[in-house]
Amino acid sequence: MSKVCLTVQPADDLVDVPRRIRLEGLAPCSQVTLRAHTRRADGVDWHSTARFEADAEGRLDLGSTAPLDGDYEGVSAMGLIWSQKPDGDGVSNVFPDNLLEPLVTHLFAETSQGSAEATLVQRFAGQGVVREDVRADGLVGTLFRPATPGPHPAVMILNGSGGGINEPRAALYASHGYVALALAYFKAPGLSDYISNTPLEYFKRGLDWIRATQKPAKGFVALNGQSRGGELVLLLASIYPKDVSAVVAYVPGAVVHGGQNACDPAVGRDGPAWLLDGKPLVHIWNDNRTASWAAFDAGQRHEVSIRTALRDTEAVARARIPVERIRAPIILLSGTDDAAWPSSLYSRMVVDALRANHYPYDYQWVDTPDAGHAIVFPYVPTTQITHRHPVTGRLFTGGGAPGPNALSNERTWESIKAFLQRAVAGYAAGWPGR
């Protein structure tokens, strides 16, 4: 009888690289249980389990076989990875503290003939990627530089209402050849704990700093933002169109919002988030005749209350981000079951405005059915739908479900990589108005 063999190909690679997980040497049509276990640097263990049936030749390939039962359904080559759940309640951080260290997942196969093991290594930073803290010109962030000689195109990465520094995305961008600055604007050392009254000039300073110190290829600097950061990158590109070379907007807003859940309690959630020239920008809650937080305060999805504000068409018009002023390619990423705010509707509003104004640059919208607000990148656990908001501490749901969210992670990241390749090539060749 053949020995049971469990293999992962490639066994060690970047986190966004799909793997082929296979078993050989099984009894024909026998059943096998596969388990995944990842221990994070914080000591939390993540697990998943699924049971399969081998084919008539005694082989099993997760890329072509759905489990009989277990923690995920349907065919998914990386289902054992994205379906992992943590030990304990309230755990949501799936990333290691040190992104230059990999995530190591141990896979175990149990059969009637015996057992087998394999290891799957996921890296956020490729070999030679350099990490540097940035504390200059009042900026707070982390820079990741590619291992290869430059010049490289650059990306500035902005978080959402949780604040802080999005190092995982910056590390992965650098691994794909971009100088990546993950720039904090609140809830980071030396900055406010809240989003309220954030001056937009701070981000202009970040863009200038990248160009002055990193000398990006042809001066190309893209903006990448998620959630409130998705709103922010569209806003910044409309205010500083000459400074932005491409826009990557994850689950964005199409209108300016107030402080909401990330607000300074002294300012209030209906107070301003953004300042320009020291003055608050008009936002959707200002003089809004239909807006109400009652649904959210009663425990319903945040998105329900946001939609009450969108019923006042005059308030929407006043707060709308003038995306037609942007002078760069735009990609929008959303999910139809976004529980934080209606990112699909907002993305449609952006696309409609671009189309109505005969926008001359490339724009793309990737909208995943049944996916929620939390879009990161492929092959990380998507099981933590509800978490405590980093600012308020209140339980908050992003919507979607693990399977659709995993699909969203995969298809959006592949779309972004192709989009940015086109954007860099188009920038170098010269766009209309450049």
Is there a catalytic annotation at residue 302?
no
- The residue type found at 210 is I
CA 316 to chain centre: 26
- 84/129 Cα distance (integer angstroms): 28
For the chain, the C-alpha Rg in angstroms (whole number) is 23
- Asked whether the beta carbons of 245 and 178 are under 8 A apart, the reply is no
Q: Which of 71, 243, 338, 367 is catalytic?
A: 338
Residue 218 backbone dihedrals phi, psi, to 5 degrees = 60, 15
Is there a catalytic annotation at residue 257?
no
Place of tokens 């992992």: 84
Token couple for 401: 């479900």
CA 2 to chain centre: 43
- 144/101 Cα distance (integer angstroms): 14
- Alpha-carbon dihedral sign for residues 8, 14, 16, 17: negative
- The residue type found at 150 is G
Q: Which parts of 223-312 fold into alpha helices (H)?
A: 228-239, 294-297, 302-310
User: What is each CA distance from 1 to 5, 28, 34, 58, in whole angstroms?
Assistant: 12, 11, 20, 11
DSSP secondary structure of 299-317: T--HHHHHHHHHT-HHHHH
- 223/184 Cα distance (integer angstroms): 13
Q: Which of 76, 161, 196, 227 is catalytic?
A: 227
Q: Which of 257, 283, 302, 373 is catalytic?
A: 373
Token couple for 326: 């942007």
Nearest to 423 by CA among 168, 206, 218: 218
Q: Which parts of 83-190 fold into alpha helices (H)?
A: 167-175
Name the β-bridge partners of 155. 180, 222
Is there a catalytic annotation at residue 338?
yes
Name the β-bridge partners of 23. 6, 60
Q: Which residues are catalytic?
A: 227, 338, 373
